[in-house]
């Protein structure tokens, strides 16, 4: 076997090893995210009550404006949250919340 063939084989080995490691890390992240989402799912209706739909063409009964895959964004965050909490995406989204607090003028 030539030196070049040895190097090609080594590259293939390392590529396969890297791929396996990336898959392991991905599965680990999904498992951790699943645990977080399951705790959100336990309070699903309370959490969803805090949000309003961002469009007039959707509702809780018809969450039609969630994640739009070809464009890669949610047309309505509440619709997407409903879909995520219904496990429509196999726990592939991470959910975080940001709360803004401001004083109302007296």
Task: Determine the Cα–Cα distance for residues 40 and 96; give it in Å rounded to an integer.
Answer: 10
Largest alpha-carbon pair distance within the chain? 83
Residue tagged 């030539």 (tokens): 2
What confidence tens digit (pLDDT) does each residue in 31-55 have? 888 888 899 999 999 999 999 998 8
Which ranges of the chain does DSSP label H, i.e. alpha helix?
Answer: 3-41, 44-49, 77-85
What confidence tens digit (pLDDT) does each residue in 53-88 have? 988 888 898 888 877 767 777 888 899 899 888 888
């Amino acid at each position: 076997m030539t030196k070049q063939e040895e190097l090609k084989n080594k590259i293939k080995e390392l590529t396969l090893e890297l791929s396996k490691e990336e898959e392991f890390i991905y599965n680990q992240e999904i498992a951790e995210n699943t645990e977080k989402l399951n705790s959100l799912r336990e309070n699903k209706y309370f959490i969803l009550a805090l949000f309003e739909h961002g469009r007039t063409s959707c509702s809780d009964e018809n969450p039609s404006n969630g994640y739009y895959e070809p464009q890669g964004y949610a047309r309505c965050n509440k619709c997407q949250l409903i879909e995520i909490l219904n496990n429509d995406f196999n726990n592939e989204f991470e959910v975080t919340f940001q709360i803004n607090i401001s004083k109302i003028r007296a």
